[in-house]
A and B are shown apart, each in its own frame.
Chain A
Amino acid sequence: MKKLIIALAASAALMGGFSTGAQAQEKKKVCFIYVGSKTDGGWTQAHDLGRQQLDKALGTKVETPFLENVPEGPDAERAIERMARSGCALVFTTSFGFMDATVKVAAKFPDVKFEHATGFKAAPNLATYNSRFYEGRYIQGQIAAKMSKKGVAGYIASFPIPEVVMGINAFELGAKSINPNFKLKVVWANTWFDPGKEADAAKALIDQGVDILTQHTDTTAPMQVASERGILAFGQASDMIAAGPKTQLTAIVDTWGAYYIKRTQALLDGTWKSEQIWDGLKDGILTMAPYTNMPDDVKAMAEETEAKIKSGELHPFTGPINKQDGSAWLKAGEKAQDGVLLGMNFYIEGVDDKLPQ
């Protein structure tokens, strides 16, 4: 009982101290909200690395509080609102599922700036940003076609959203530019994050005869399986070379740091404005991990493709491209519009999987 009284007294004393003692803050707050754990090894970790880079670059001018493991839904709205109320000047909401919550809170706090990753709803104080991951997938497809002996690659997919479908298509396009008969097998793990299930999916694909793996899920488990079974694989979201030193060909590395620094600087300079940004390899929002475990000519090809994409000479989605059923989608030389890509829900020719409509 005594303890309780002491504790209560202590907290009461503190309440008084707190309300008056709010320290005057010079630093601006740039806040982040994550759907996963900041050490998930994949999507969220990449964003948190970006936040840390921002901290390093502009740490004297900003501080970067964050909330991790925020479930999508009403919890997200509360978490974002809490950030807006706690004095954040700029809030990055880093999951697609935060879209409507961000829109609602942004409408309530017109003076706070918001940036939502991978969404499509904007407002004067709400920008969206995304990365052209498909550029990296195209390069991976080309490498796969060169390195695969059987001409079949396996793709561990999470959920059928446009982002994932776009990645599958880009991979197949890259592969077909080298080997027109290249085949792609897709397995849906129906999870972003379950090392066991991802490993099972990898094993199933290998047992069904693929000799190269790529993944659109978050953990390094598929890379580990590929390495055990002695086949080659591509990493996802972060450089996974540690999980497969003799396995990883390259990885699409999300490097949000450059973007976060750019936008925070704009905020500090007073030049921030709402934009719908879709950056690619040339902007450094994604980078390719070193090309390893491949002969020099393949490496040279990959580097050349990367350079061409950066310079704008090559757009992976350039016609002629047929849809899966053989009907024409893009005419020769025609480039896909961003809007179509961002809402992509069909496969191109050569992908074996069928998308439920």
Chain B
Amino acid sequence: MFEAILLTVITASTPLVLAALGELVTERSGVLNLGVEGMMIMGAVCAFVAAQLTGSPYAGILAGILGGGIFSLLFGFLTLTLVANQVATGLALTILGLGLSGQIGEAFVGQPGIKLQPIVFPLLSDIPFFGRVLFSQDLIFYLSVALVIGIHWFLFKSRTGLKLRAIGDSHSSAHALGINVIRTRYLAVMFGGACAGLAGAQLSLVYTPQWVENMSAGRGWIALALVVFASWRPWRILAGGYLFGAVGIGQLHAQILAQNLGIVIPSQFLSALPYAATIVVLIIISHNRRTTLINTPASLGKPFVPDR
């Protein structure tokens, strides 16, 4: 049973981790894109439609990534080229995404989807206890773990990552050093969109292989919160995402256990647990003002126009 619960937690957490990772890179470059929910739902619908049309969930994954990535360009054009306000544009992107995805997916509602099958690593998956949990998963899960490692390496070990962080901390200084701020930010925004799209693909191909309107049901917002929660560090996103997922699944089991024991707990209180837990953990980790300041991209949300 424990193994099964772990698997459930992983499935519930993966979309949060993925979308948050993408947003982390975007925000590290100094851009705040509140449109994660919209990009995620676009990814979900593109992935589902492509998988249905081609019969291949892998085509779906690709379509999800492309869908989210291309959709985020709209945000990029407005906020980077036209320096529109990032908060408002992000929210508008969500409104647009929810509407557009509903329109695109209308003909596909109610069709049973194609589930992305796990890729089993022969020997590793036989390791007792965690073998099946870690090595008998679908491609998107492996990608999410690879992305955590990859993004950590990219941000803190690679030159380009250093440049990206430099832009996020002070776009004017970075510009003065000859770094192309706008181009880097475009790429970061698209990466964020692609990750959100991949998260959406996970929803419509793995979590619940189907398409219904609004199926992201607010997960994009949680992902946004996770980035802050993780103080812009990839490994903490992984931890935070799994913690959030675990509390959410745990409260369902708590309901059943409470029934077995004959205790009355209003289910609303249990449903509120993940949110309350997030706040509490955030208080604990943000208590140290210095580390928070180091990690927060200083020019987050501020527009940049190169001088000429």
Interface residues of A (CB under 8 A from B): 37, 39-41, 45, 160, 185-188, 190-191, 193-201, 203-208, 219-221, 224, 228, 242-243, 352-356
Contacts and interface: CB of A to CB of B under 8 A. Distances in A.
Contacts of B263: 354
15 contacts: A37-B102, A39-B106, A40-B109, A45-B110, A193-B217, A194-B215, A195-B215, A196-B12, A196-B203, A196-B217, A199-B207, A201-B252, A204-B255, A352-B260, A354-B259
Contacts, number: 112
A352 B253 contact: no
B106 A219 contact: no
Contacts of B213: 37, 39-40
10 smallest A-B Cβ distances: which pairs?
A: A188-B267, A204-B252, A195-B208, A39-B109, A194-B217, A354-B264, A352-B259, A221-B208, A203-B8, A356-B266
Given A197-B217, A219-B210, A353-B259, A242 B252 contact: no
A204 B208 contact: no
Nearest to A228: B115
A161 to B, nearest CB: 13
Contact of B112 (A199, A243, A352): A243
Size class of the B contact interface (CB-based, 8 Å): 35 or more
Contacts of A221: 208, 210
Contacts of B1: 207-208
B253 A196 contact: no
Interface of B: 1, 4-5, 8, 12, 102, 106, 109-112, 115, 203, 207-210, 212-215, 217, 219, 248-249, 252-253, 255-256, 258-260, 262-264, 266-268, 271
Q: Which residue, of B212, B249, B268, B271, has the highest number of chain A Cβ atoms within 10 A?
A: B212
Q: Which residue, of B1, B110, B271, has the highest number of chain A Cβ atoms within 10 A?
A: B110
A208 B250 CA distance: 12
B8 A204 contact: yes
B84 to A, nearest CB: 21
Given A39-B213, A204-B5, A353-B259, 12 more contacts: A40-B109, A187-B256, A191-B217, A195-B207, A200-B8, A204-B253, A208-B253, A219-B208, A224-B208, A243-B112, A354-B263, A356-B267
A187 B208 CA distance: 18
Nearest to B253: A204
Contact of A219 (B12, B115, B212, B258): B212
Contacts of B217: 191, 193-197
Q: Which residue, of B12, B112, B209, B264, has the highest number of chain A Cβ atoms within 10 A?
A: B112
A208 B1 CA distance: 8
Nearest to A241: B112
A41 B110 contact: yes
Nearest to A196: B207
A207 B255 CA distance: 13
B212 A200 contact: no
A208 B213 CA distance: 30
A191 B271 CA distance: 10
A229 to B, nearest CB: 9
